[in-house]
Amino acid sequence: MNKPRPKHLALHLIKLPLSGYVSILHRASGAVLFLALPLLLMILDQSLRSIETYTNLTDVLANPLLKVVLFGLMWAFLHHFCAGLRYLAIDLHLLPTLAAARAGSKWVLAVSLTLTVLLGAKLW
């Protein structure tokens, strides 16, 4: 095994399985949720402070651009939650085989996207 090691790793040529993309999205959604926490806490504070701040908040949140941002945050939460449950199932050996873990990653994407669409349609 005297193969020369590559000097540069070509990341754009690496083909990840679906579970790799779910893992990356899990980390990214967690980072987005962490960074959005001050915004979400401010929204909670304004909604509970008084009836005037609540009505001002509902007027501001009627903006379609802000609704899209909130739907993105809702998807990030739902994906992070579903992927977290998948990782918990893997750690508890409830998904013992590679095929079961890969099927779990398909379920994570399907369930998180379906719940986002259903809740988004309900809340729009």
What pLDDT sits at residue 44? Answer: 96
pTM of the shown model: 0.85
- 19-123 has CATH 1.20.1300.10 classification: yes
What pLDDT sits at residue 50? Answer: 96
What pLDDT sits at residue 1? Answer: 66
From the first residue on, what is the mean pLDDT of each consecutive set of 10 residues in the chain (124 residues)? 75 87 96 97 96 95 93 97 97 94 95 96 86
Query: Contact, 73 vs 40, CB < 8 A?
Result: yes
Question: 3-state class of 21 per DSSP?
Answer: helix
What pLDDT sits at residue 71? Answer: 95
